[in-house]
Amino acid sequence: MPLDQLPAPAEAGTAGPLLCVIASRSDTVKLAPLVRHLAARKDLPGVRLVHTGHLDEALFAELDLPVADVSLEVTAGSNTQRTAEVMLRFEPVIDATQPSAVLLVGGSDAALACSLVASKKDVPVVNLEAGLRSFERGEPAEINRRMTDQLAGLLCTTVRSAQYTLVREGIADKRVQFVGNLLADAVKQVATQAIKPQDTLRRLGSDAACMADRNGYGVVTLQHDSNISDRSIFAQVLGALQVASTELPLLWLMHERTRSRFEDMGLLSMILDARIKLLPAVGYREMIGMIAGATCVMTDCGEVQEEATVLGVPCMTLLPYTDRLITVDEGSNTVVGRSRSLLNRAIGETLKYGGKKGRPPELWDGETSRRIGDHLVEWLREQATARRSGGAVQAA
């Protein structure tokens, strides 16, 4: 929707909308249950959706999300260029909507950009996934998370330990609220409608014979820059997957960016003789169906680590670290890095003993959207009271 077609700003004394920022596919999945919940409440302002990149209309429809009110369409450039461009395009949206608050998921360039603009416009920011840390300080996502957390007035955390992390970084305890994990809401809602992997393979015109393997099958996702930007590291990961495929067939859901680099680097020959099936990205119900039915999952994606934990499926993280530590401490995740031997050992233990199932972490119960909505009612009331008295509580 063009800016000039947006509803007029709220009149004086009337609360402006809640502006929800969606920067990626994973943001879409996480925000879907929250947006539906907030939109149904009568004690909160209306919701407006802003998509910062390429709008995936099929995913919006699948998750029963309304079409985004604004699409900024920032899809190219370096981290710095994307951050700057989102800032330039987001400022007019703030001016046009005069929101009560900006809600976002910290970690992306777009989330940081929108947090900066909102803060400079004196609009409160709510980070719905605050306090996650990989402690790899040079990583763009780590930088974005730390800076977004500093700017946010309300920091909603997915795990209780994140509160201690934030307080150590100088953030006042009263700005932090432990609410649980929105992704758990999404997984639990979608799991009942998940599509069987055999049906997905048939839709893709792919042979489903691998479903009959005595060891089942593994699911692979790979998209982290540190794994796919350098040819030697990418080849190292492929070598580990090649060995893993001798134990069970692998279904690799390949992100477009990963496929492009995979082809540009000429790495196809490494897996020609391996039992690895290359598949395009699929719908979310199809993806959850594949993970739920898998013997194990191999990934470098934090969201997939969380999804596997919610579903109780053994997961092997193909990075030397994770920013979802609770999936290791309590969930089904094991960090194996890029080591063939560690990955093979984890798969062997899974095939022999059933693998690491873990348990759902605290408040990953499907009720996070409700808790956020309940807390927003009181928090927005405090914000309004502070504004009327000439103060500011969001950065207290």
The residue-averaged pLDDT of 368-374 equals: 98
| Average pLDDT taken over every residue of the chain | 95
- 152 domain residue, yes or no: yes
Does residue 202 sit in the same domain as residue 168?
Answer: no
Query: What tens digit of pLDDT does each residue of 123-144 get?
Result: 999 999 999 999 998 999 999 9
Whether residue 170 sits in one domain with residue 235: no
- The Cα-based distances of 318 to 110, 228, 229, 301 in angstroms read 26, 11, 14, 9
Is residue 393 situated within a structural domain? no
Whether residue 24 contacts residue 301, with contact meaning beta carbons closer than 8 Å, is answered with no
Query: How sure is the predictor about 41, in pLDDT bands with cuts at 50, 70 and 90?
Result: very high
Give the distance, in angstroms, between the CA of residue 136 and the centroid of all CA atoms in the same chain.
Answer: 18
Helix ranges, 245-337 (H): 256-264, 284-293, 302-311, 326-329
Give the pLDDT score at 391: 60
71 shares its domain with 159: yes
Q: Which of 190, 210, 151, 181 is nearest to 330 (CA)?
A: 181
Please indicate, yes or no, whether residues 93 and 128 belong to a single structural domain of this protein. yes
Q: Give the ranges where the chain is alpha helix by DSSP (H).
A: 25-40, 57-62, 79-97, 109-120, 140-151, 161-168, 182-191, 197-203, 225-228, 231-244, 256-264, 284-293, 302-311, 326-329, 340-353, 368-388
Pairing of strands 218-221, 296-299: parallel
Q: For residue 8, give Cα distances in angstroms to 12, 17, 367.
A: 12, 11, 33
DSSP 8-state assignment for residue 211: G
Is 270 contained in some domain? yes
Q: What is the CATH number of the domain that holds 30?
A: 3.40.50.2000
Q: What is the pLDDT of residue 2?
A: 58
Q: What is the pLDDT of residue 5?
A: 59
Residues 113, 58 share a domain = yes
Encode pLDDT of 258-299 as tens digits: 999 999 999 999 999 999 999 999 999 999 999 999 999 999
Structural domain includes residue 136: yes
36 falls within a domain: yes
DSSP conformational letter for 273 = T
Does residue 190 sit within a domain?
A: no
- Strand-pair partners of 18: 47, 101
Same domain, yes or no: 263 and 159? no
Is 229 within a domain? Answer: yes
Number of Cβ within 10 Å of residue 247's Cβ equals 19
How far, in Å, are 1, 111, 113, 338 from residue 71 at the CA level?
7, 14, 15, 37
pLDDT of residue 390: 73
pLDDT band for position 11 (50/70/90)?
low
Q: What pLDDT score was predicted for residue 55? A: 86
Is 159 found in the same domain as 204? no
In Å, the largest CA–CA distance within the chain is 70
All residues at 6 or more sequence positions from 155 whose CB lies less than 8 Å from its CB, including other chains: 126, 127, 130, 131, 149, 166, 171, 175, 176, 177
Whose tokens are 């405090």? That residue is: 382
- Residue 394 DSSP class: T
pLDDT at position 34: 98
- 3-class SS at 163? helix
pLDDT of residue 386: 87
Q: Mark whether 375 and 293 lie in a shared domain.
A: no
Question: Per the structure, how many domains does the chain have?
Answer: 2
As a dihedral over the C-alpha atoms of residue 65, residue 68, residue 71, residue 74, rounded to 10 degrees, the angle is: -20
Are 11 and 156 in the same domain?
yes
What percentage of the chain carries pLDDT values higher than 90? 91
pLDDT (0 to 100) of residue 396 = 41
- Give the range of the structural domain holding residue 70, as residue numbers without chain letter: 3-180+364-388
Give the model's pLDDT for residue 8: 57
Give residue-wise pLDDT tens across range 113-125.
999 999 999 999 9
How far are the Cα atoms of 39, 95, 296 from residue 299, in angstroms, in the given order? Answer: 34, 40, 10
**Average pLDDT of span 57-71:** 96
Radius of gyration of the chain (CA): 21
- Residue 213 and residue 175 share a domain: no
Does residue 187 lie within any of the structural domains? Answer: no
Q: What is the pLDDT of residues 198-225, one digit of tens each?
A: 999 999 999 998 889 999 999 999 999 9
Whether residues 154 and 205 fall in one domain: no
Q: Give the whole-angstrom CA distance, residue 327 versus residue 306.
A: 6
pLDDT value for 395: 45
Instruction: Assess whether 110 and 136 both reside in one domain.
Output: yes
Mean pLDDT, residues 304-315: 98
